[in-house]
Amino acid sequence: MSGLSETERAGFTKILSLMTKCDLLSLSDTVTNKMIVVENITEAKETILAFTKNAEELLRRKKVQRDLIFKYLATEGVAMPPNSEKHMLIKRTLELWSSVKVVDENPQGEAASSDVNCGMGFDPLVLGQQFCQWFFQLLNSQNLSLGQQPQDWGPQHFWPDVKLRLLSKAGSEQMEEFLGADLVSRRFLALTRDERLLFSPNLDPHGLKALTSPHGLVLVAVAGTIHRDSVCLGIFEQIFGLIRSPLDNNSWKIKFVNLKIRGQDALSGTDVAAPALTYNSSELQLLCS
């Protein structure tokens, strides 16, 4: 009976899980014209999905609020300007679902194996996009305010001697350094789980750069916005150094991270909507050497 594709169902399942019980029951009544009485949240979700003829119709419902769609897109690694109107968010969500290129849970491994097969055809930008989608989805899932099941975060995604440099400007400037997979992974966890931050990377060409060094290091630089709930707190720029791990199915692991965070008050007139990288290629090359 449902007119939704598998991808749309999976997407709506995430969006509906962000809704309150009261709104879910009300939405179920609306969708079924009160023909079906549901007993609990699970039944309400199933009923809503079963009686929905198409995805756009459901996204337009009043109870599917703008903020829910914004939050959902952020967890999927899709950056949208914080002031986007609901119709823009709906359009972007439908585009995302129609592209049906379901990102593998672990694009590191996927990117690694496809690269080996095509010899010289390795495109660092494709790896950069896949890596950022994977990394930020994983990191954002630790933020409990999204109501998502946290994914498998931990030191296993980093090299044992990984180094994190964290530079934050919000009023005053602070510089922190962390060494080792355990400390680095815990510092990231503190940002999302404890400080409830949400990272929304800008994967458009001006927000993402990637390049390789002759020694097998891939540099991925990305800019984006940082949110808490529906408030945009500022922007970030992050550079990852990735190296393959032959012991772990040749998957990519993080060797170093430079993270620069600027709060709204330190931005003074910068366009926050879709921040661009301020690093140029020659600065990145220096990091490769």
Give the pLDDT confidence of 155-167 residue by residue, as tens digits: 999 999 999 999 8
* Alpha helices for 34-106 (secondary structure H): 41-51, 55-60, 66-75, 86-98
**Predicted local confidence at residue 38, as pLDDT:** 84
Residue 282 has pLDDT above 80, yes or no: no
Quote the domain boundaries for residue 19: 6-98
Strand residue runs (E) in 138-230: 158-170, 172-179, 198-201, 208-212, 218-228
Count of domains forming the chain: 2
Are residues 120 and 70 both part of a single domain? no
CA distance 262 to 264: 7
Are residues 120 and 31 both part of a single domain? no
Residue 1 domain-assigned (yes or no):
no
Listed range (1-5, 124-128, 175-179, 282-286) with the worst mean pLDDT = 282-286
Are residues 128 and 11 both part of a single domain? no
CA distance 76 to 10: 12
Residue 167 domain-assigned (yes or no):
yes
Angle at 128 between CA 120 and CA 17, to 5 degrees: 135
The mean pLDDT value of the chain amounts to 81
Are residues 215 and 117 both part of a single domain? yes
Listed range (140-144, 149-153, 214-218, 234-238) with the worst mean pLDDT = 214-218
**Predicted local confidence at residue 287, as pLDDT:** 61
Are residues 11 and 126 both part of a single domain? no
Angle at 141 between CA 227 and CA 206, to 5 degrees: 50
Residue 42 domain-assigned (yes or no):
yes
**Predicted local confidence at residue 65, as pLDDT:** 93
Q: Considering the entire predicted model, what is its pTM?
A: 0.56
Are residues 140 and 269 both part of a single domain? yes
Are residues 124 and 240 both part of a single domain? yes
Residue 112 has pLDDT above 70, yes or no: no
What would the mean pLDDT of 144-149 be, rounded to a whole number?
A: 79
The residue from 98, 116, 138 where one domain ends is 98
- 181-207 burial by CB neighbour count: b if 16+ within 10 A, else e? bebbbbbbbebbbeeebbbbbbbeeeb
Are residues 282 and 183 both part of a single domain? yes
CA distance 71 to 140: 10
Band of residue 103 on the pLDDT scale cut at 50, 70, 90: very low
Can you read off the two tokens belonging to residue 92?
Answer: 């972007």
For the domain that residue 158 is a member of, what is the CATH number? 3.10.450.50
**Predicted local confidence at residue 15, as pLDDT:** 93
Angle at 98 between CA 14 and CA 125, to 5 degrees: 90
Band of residue 16 on the pLDDT scale cut at 50, 70, 90: very high
CA distance 50 to 102: 22
**Predicted local confidence at residue 144, as pLDDT:** 85
Are residues 111 and 223 both part of a single domain? yes
Residue 117 has pLDDT above 70, yes or no: no
What share of the chain has pLDDT > 70, as a percent?
82
Residue 161 domain-assigned (yes or no):
yes
Residue 168 phi, psi (nearest 5): -120, 135
**Predicted local confidence at residue 42, as pLDDT:** 87
Are residues 87 and 115 both part of a single domain? no
